[in-house]
Amino acid sequence: MSRVMHYVLEGAAVLLLAALAALIVILHLTRPEIRYSAQIASLETTVRARVRSVGAESLTVDENGLVLITQELELQILSKGDYAGQTVTVTYNGMGPTVDAVRFRAGQQALVMISKRPDGQAFFQVADHVRLTPIALIVGLFVALTLIIGRGKGVRALLGLALSGVVVGGFILPQVLAHRDPTLVSLVGTAVLLAVTLYLIQGWNPVGHVALLGMLAALGVTGALSIGWTELAYLTGFGSEETMFLQAMGVGVEMRGLLLAGMIIGAASVLDDVVLAQALTVFELAAANPTFSRGELYRRGMKVGVAHLASMINTLVLAYASAALPLLLLFYLYPEPWYLTLNRELIAEEIVRTLVGSVGLMLAVPLTSAIAAWVASNSRQ
Tens digits of residue pLDDT in 250-294? 666 778 888 888 888 888 877 888 899 899 999 999 988 888 989
- pLDDT tens digits, one per residue of 21-43: 999 999 988 988 876 655 444 55
What pLDDT was estimated at residue 338?
74
Residue 95: strand, helix, or coil: strand
How far is residue 313's CA from residue 244's CA, in Å, rounded to a whole number? 30
Q: In the predicted model, is pLDDT for residue 115 greater than 80?
A: yes
Q: In the predicted model, is pLDDT for residue 313 greater than 80?
A: no
**What are the residues whose beta carbons fall under 8 Å from the beta carbon of 70, sequence distance 6 or more?**
56, 57, 58, 59, 91, 92, 93, 94
As a whole number, mean pLDDT of residues 92-98 equals 89
- pLDDT tens digits, one per residue of 231-256: 898 888 877 767 767 776 666 677 88
| pTM of the predicted protein model | 0.77
Contact yes or no for 272/364 (Cβ under 8 A): no
What pLDDT was estimated at residue 43?
54
Local confidence band at 2 (pLDDT 50, 70, 90 cut-offs): low
Distance set, CA 260 to CA 47, 257, 356 (Å): 36, 5, 10
How far is residue 301's CA from residue 373's CA, in Å, rounded to a whole number? 8
Helices 182-202 and 132-167 sit at what angle, rounded to 10 degrees? 100
How far is residue 272's CA from residue 255's CA, in Å, rounded to a whole number? 27
Sheet holding 44-61, edge to edge: 87-96, 67-77, 44-61, 109-116, 122-129
What pLDDT was estimated at residue 235?
87
As a whole number, mean pLDDT of residues 334-350 equals 79
Q: What's the mean pLDDT when you consider all of the chain?
A: 85
How far is residue 26's CA from residue 169's CA, in Å, rounded to a whole number? 17
What pLDDT was estimated at residue 250?
64
What pLDDT was estimated at residue 41?
45
- CATH 2.40.50 residue ranges for the chain: 44-130
CATH 2.40.50 fits 44-130, yes or no: yes
As a whole number, mean pLDDT of residues 192-201 equals 89
H helices of the chain, where? 3-29, 99-102, 132-167, 173-177, 182-202, 206-232, 241-248, 255-288, 294-323, 325-333, 338-343, 345-378
Local confidence band at 361 (pLDDT 50, 70, 90 cut-offs): confident
- pLDDT tens digits, one per residue of 131-189: 989 999 999 999 999 999 988 878 888 888 888 889 988 899 889 888 888 889 999 99
Local confidence band at 213 (pLDDT 50, 70, 90 cut-offs): very high
As a whole number, mean pLDDT of residues 185-212 equals 90
